Structure 1
Amino acid sequence: MTYSARTNFRRQLTTSLIVGLVWWLSSALRHLWLQSNGFDLGIYDQVAWQISRGLEPRSSLLGLHHMGNHGAWAFYAIGAAYYLWPSIQWLLASQALSLALTALPLAALWRQARLPERLSWLPCLLWWLQPQVFNTNLFDFHPEVWAMPALAGCIWCSRAQKPLPWLLCLLWLLGCRDGLALVVIGLGLSELVQRRWCWGLFAIALGLGWMLSLSEWLYPWLNGPDQGPAALSRFSSLGDSIPSILIGSLQRPWVLVDVVPWQELPIYVVLISVPTALFWRRNSLTVLLTALPLWLVNLISSNGAQRNLVHHYNLPLAVIAVVAAIDGLQTSGCRAWPWRRLAWSAVCWAALAKPWFFSGHYLSRVDQLTDVNEALRRIPAESRVITTSHLAPQLTHRLQIEAIGRNPLNQRRLDRFDVMLLNPSDPGWQSGSSVQSKALQLAKGDNWYCQSWKSGLELCRKLEEVSDSTDQNDAPDS
């Protein structure tokens, strides 16, 4: 590495850390303002806390063992950090920094392509300006973000013909989420197109083998018989297991025609390609082939969340899109800053990212903060809690916590808890005012001790829970 490259690397590292810090503060502020959710931040926070305490990592919010959810064995590493200091900020900080630092292996790919060193900031900027990246950072937490530097690194190792680091990157991808097996298969397809048969067949076999091992062995073992991946129901029209879906799709490919949401297809293609498509050229197609398996699965899913930039499902496609831009610029012999195309990427970020939420949508619960914090202080750490989705991540360092959901609460389910924290005037995600009002009436009819606040927040506790707590002097308001 030349002196200018080392200098740029240090500057890019420093800038990446600054970007990561800004993103961390953004997600932390969103969480502080009660905009995070039990699905998925609360799920992973509870599991991380359980791992740090040597407990079985089973989410009570989800009702599944951690490895029976997405097979993310890499997530166990966070237990050491939680052992030192149990805080949800480990998740938010690691997510922000992983996303920001993905710019470094992308810059390495730029240098590998022998493009001008003075322009090595361009792939970094293209990555930081991806709307999908910014939105993923704000959308709670998902462990596949840890794999994004490895995805870019995997492509670098392949081009440098370094098999051992390449294999380690593949394994890390598989360890961060089951869905990344599709990316590993895509990497294999890209290798086959380049006639690197051993590399390609190995990656495809590794991805398929891991996917089938999870769905046919680990998930049923941990979750019960005939319990495959949680997302399998999104493809029920194609089959009831991964093997049946794969075999059926190969034997009757015309069935996919009925599954594809054709009216959404143009919008989906535009969303994932528009920030970087102006940089692509014909030789970009090889790396874009890596995106094909994940793109197809997201396309045929019955869950529309897999076809937008708000959720995390298309995050690996953002990495692939930037690498495709690097390949396109290599073909065109980039020697000067492509200001117009870069400006277009910035416009796309402004239009499709969500920074304006901090001046509007994310402020909707700020006036509840005082009441919520007071209520949280009155809930003992050992209590079994039922609450709303947006309050769950504030209470997940415990063995039993659930979100109330859409279904009415019955006496049998009520008996499983000691504390109820609800707000019928702001029921939150996947709940309703009537459901929460009836739940509170049920608790009061069972002689629970209840308190209310002007914001509409209500805290109900069993009488024995009140007598065991240190909060003996509160008079009930209702």
Structure 2
Amino acid sequence: MQASPADSATLPPQQSQSDEQARAGDSPTGHSGIPWWMWALAGALFFAYMTLSLRLHQRMLSNAFDLGIFEQVIRSYADGHLPVSEVKGPDYPVLGDHFHPALALVAPFYRLWPSPQVLLVVQAALIAASVLPLALWARRALGSGAAAVIGICYGLSWGLANAAGFDFHEVAFAVPLLACSLVALGNDRPRAAALWALPLLLVKEDLGLTVAVIGFLIALRGDRKLGIATAVAGLGGTALAMLVILPAFNPQGSYAYTHWLTTGSEGGESGLPDLLYKVTIGLITPEPKVTTLLFLLAPTLFLALRSPLLLVALPTLVWRFASGLWTHWGTSYHYSIVLMPIVFAAFIDALVRRRTSGVSLRRYLVGSAAITALILPQYPLWQLVKPENWRTDPRVAVAHKLMDRIPDGATVQASNQLVPQLTDRTSVSLYGWGDSRPNPEWIMVDTEVPQHRIWPLSVGEERISLDRALTEGYRTAAEEDGFVLLTRSG
């Protein structure tokens, strides 16, 4: 991910390729001159992301981790107090888990529409908005045709699709901020790049490291004072969050940052040997880590490697690949959403630096489109064209009929995919999760969850747990089509 020797010294500002494009008024951060087709593209992507995520939620395929947690967080903000999540534990202070005060921005919308669906709509809007600065830069530097292809390939990229297809996450706020910051940086507007980057400190604690790399690139381009200040702010923000704020709120207190303490490695060691393994050979093994890198770079035909902007991806890649959790390594879930604007900004920057035009530019664009189309069916946006996505299992109506019997404000334990259906009006935690609030007023369990989706209990463990509940004072209020609703006797 290193720049060529010619690039690494001064990183010269990018120029428009024609006076006509310059007169078009395409501000790289979208202040003016946005053509109608870009609005249409962003609107179509917003509709696709929103439809996908809402449809999954309607089919009861959203999860306690993470839609249920984030709705409880935003519901707390909307009620005017610091965020807690019952899914994480009784009155669990989530600012001891992750530092993401940017979520408070969703609270006004939640007060108008108190539903988990508002989180999904906001996320879709944030992701779709990020296409505008990237497409504007591509249009100004490479022409409208290139901008359209790059905008579509970015909007359909697998990292964005996975995020839209898996609940809601705070890092959606980072996507437009990163896009605007990197476009400004690529167009030699260091102050704008810094101003767009600094709010990342309020999105998630590790993004301060990303801000620091942006500061390094600003300094490398010549504005050393601003670059150093930005880098110091990024490092300081991450240190403050991890060493002060998170421990202060974390119920266990002694942990500086619980997510960095996850253990496990291919080497089977612990302590210093484990750490050394993780930051060396462990960064590229096992195989899912290399697969993730290939999938990230393939849509750019690996041309993104020629841009220094790709360095901004390093902090996210390092913490993910050094993690002991296998879920961080691969292409699943939402973890790659912040990487997509970085990779495509680097792609545009590399095309501009190479002064790619004519047949060469068309080859890159055709190649990018072909790889995007090849990858697309493997990821969630493809569900929009599958008939089963538009069929609703009759059991969904049964589940809602039984859930309607649970009064507002009740304490509940529920199966994983029932939790987000109840977070807007009850105090709900996850059934079978060790940190769930004990002795809830109601328990609702789906005993017919497919084997690959059942969690955290196995089928046998769940049956034993329900039988135990019946011996401990609960009675069966309803049982229908695999759903069991228990309430306390009397």
1:274 counterpart = 2:298: yes
Structure with the greater relative contact order (CA < 8 A, sep ≥ 6): 1 or 2? 2
* SS of alignment partner, residue 425 of structure 1: coil
Name the CA shift for 1:61/1:101 in 2 (closer, same or farther; >3 Å): same
In structure 2, the CA distance between the partners of 1:80 and 1:110, relative to structure 1 (3 Å rule), is: same
SS at match of 1:36: coil
Instruction: Check 1:407–1:176 CA distance in 2 against 1; reply closer, same or farther (3 A cut).
Output: closer
Equivalent residues of 1:408, 1:435 under 8 A apart? no
RMSD over aligned Cα, in angstroms?
A: 2.9
Please point out which of 299, 311, 314 is paired with 2:336. 314
Question: Which residue of structure 1 aligns with residue 447 of structure 2?
Answer: 424
Matched residue SS, 2:486:
strand
Q: Is the 8 A contact 1:183 1:316 kept in 2?
A: no
Distance in 2 separating the partners of 1:333 and 1:162: 22
Q: 1:363 to 1:392 in 2, by over 3 A?
A: farther
Q: Does the residue aligned with 1:402 lie in a helix, a strand or coil?
A: strand
Amino acid at match of 1:141: F
Amino acid at match of 1:227: Y
Instruction: Using the TM superposition, give the Cα deviation of residue 278 of structure 1 relative to its aligned residue in structure 2, in angstroms.
Output: 4.5
3-state DSSP of counterpart to 1:450: strand
Residue 260 of structure 1 is aligned with which of 267, 278, 283? 283
Q: Distance in 2 between matches of 1:364 and 1:310?
A: 24
Q: Deviations over 1:225-259 (max 9, x none)?
A: 2133331222588xxxxxxx9xx89xx96773364
Give ranges in structure 1 of 5+ residues lacking alignment.
238-244, 465-478
**What SS class does the counterpart of residue 206 from structure 2 fall into?**
helix
Q: How many equivalent pairs are there?
A: 446
TM-fit CA distance, 1:361: 8.2
3-state SS of 1:54 partner: coil
Partner of 1:346: 372
CA distances 1:91-136 after superposition (whole Å, capped 9, x unpaired): 1011111111211010232245x32244322331121121111111
The aligned residue for residue 170 of structure 1 is 197
Counting aligned pairs with the same residue, the percent is 22
Task: Report the CA distance shift for 1:364/1:35 in structure 2 as closer, same or farther (over 3 A).
Answer: farther
In the TM superposition, residue 309 of structure 1 has moved relative to its aligned partner by 2.1
Letter in 2 for 1:272: L
Contact residue 51 and residue 79 of structure 1 kept, 8 A: yes
1:129 aligns with 2:156: yes
Within 5 A, what are the aligned runs for 1:133-144? 133-144=160-171
- Answer whether contact 1:108 1:156 (CA < 8 A) is retained: no
Contact map agreement 2:205 2:242 (CA 8 A) in 1: no
Of 390-399 and 210-219, deviating more is: 390-399
Distance 1:55 1:3 in 2: 47
Residues 34-85 of structure 1, C-alpha deviation per residue, up to 9 Å, x if partnerless?
1100111001111211221224421111133232222111111111111222
Quote the offset at 1:385 in angstroms. Answer: 0.4
1:231 equivalent among 259, 268, 285:
259
Task: Using the TM superposition, name which of 392-401 and 124-133 deviates more.
Answer: 392-401
1:14 corresponds in structure 2 to 40
Q: Which moved more, 1:101-110 or 1:381-390?
A: 101-110
Q: Is residue 208 from structure 1 mapped to residue 235 from structure 2 by the alignment?
A: yes
8 A contact 1:38–1:403 mirrored in 2: yes
Contact residue 384 and residue 398 of structure 1 kept, 8 A? no
Is the Cα–Cα contact under 8 Å of residues 274 and 348 in structure 1 kept in the other structure?
A: no
TM-score (norm. length: structure 1): 0.84
Residue 105 (structure 2) pairs with residue 83 (structure 1): no
Q: Does 1:153 align with 2:180?
A: yes
C-alpha distance in 2 between matches for 1:304 and 1:320: 23
Q: Deviations over 1:281-300 (max 9, x none)?
A: 63x2x111111122111111
**Given that residues 147 and 173 in structure 1 are in contact (C-alpha distance below 8 angstroms), is that contact kept between their aligned partners in structure 2?**
yes
Task: Out of 426-435 and 30-39, give the one that drifted further.
Answer: 426-435
CA distance in 1, matches of 2:284, 2:183: 35
8 Å Cα contact 2:56-2:62 kept in structure 1 = yes
Matched, 1:383 2:410: yes
Separation in structure 2 between the aligned mates of residue 232 and residue 226 of structure 1, nearest angstrom: 13
In structure 1, give the amino acid aligned to 2:412: V
Deviations 1:380-433 (A, max 9, x none): 111100011111001112563211236699xxx642x10000123327332222
TM-score by length of 2: 0.82
2:345 is equivalent to residue 323 of structure 1: yes
Distance 1:364 1:431 in 2: 28
Other structure's SS at 1:401 match = strand
Please state whether the residue corresponding to 2:61 is helix, strand or coil: coil
Q: Choose between structure 1 and 2: higher helix proportion.
A: 1
Tell me the CA shift for residue 192 of structure 1.
Answer: 4.4
Partner residue in 2 for 1:289: 311
8 Å CA contact retained: 1:189, 1:290: no
Distance in 1, matches of 2:382 and 2:309, equals 33
Contact 2:198 2:234 in 1 (8 A): no
Shift in CA distance, 7/151, structure 1 to aligned 2, threshold 3 Å: closer
Instruction: Give how far 1:329 is off.
Output: 1.8
